[in-house]
Amino acid sequence: MCAQSGPKPLTKTELIRRLAEKTGADKKVVGQLIKALEEEIQQALGPNGPGVFALPGLVKIERKLIPARPAKTGVPNPFRPGELRDIPARPATHKVRVRALKGLKQMVQTPAAPSETETPGA
């Protein structure tokens, strides 16, 4: 596998620092806000929550139940013709699905304006 080149994603610390600069709020307050957002997502997607959390205009996060699969015996092995195999049962599980909403899709499609730190022609 090749290593990806280009810009790296923001770390949590860097995100907190940038949000604090843009809003003029203290880093501690921004950190508490992110922690509260994490707790709201956990509560919404938890076993007693509605199973859906949305950041309006950006993303919708859903908890989806994948039903249990029963065990099967005597199933033909696709890799060894003529051989039969047993498939074990699988318990029911929950998966998380994240969907991009219209606002996020438009942000990705619209070319970004050059940032102040970039030099033209470089």
**pLDDT by residue (tens digit) across 54-110?**
999 999 999 999 999 999 999 999 999 999 999 999 999 999 999 999 999 998 886
Q: What is the pLDDT of residues 3-40, one digit of tens each?
A: 667 889 999 999 999 999 999 999 999 999 999 999 99
Longest dimension (CA), the chain: 69
What does pTM read for this prediction? 0.69
Domain regions of the chain by residue span: 11-50, 51-110
* Helices (H), ranges, 1-122: 12-23, 27-45, 102-109
Q: Is 16 exposed, middle or buried (0-12, 13-18, 19+ CB in 10 A)?
A: buried
Angle formed at CA 54 by CA 50 and CA 57, multiple of 5 degrees: 155
**Distances from the Cα of 77 to the Cαs of 67, 83, 100, in angstroms?**
24, 6, 39
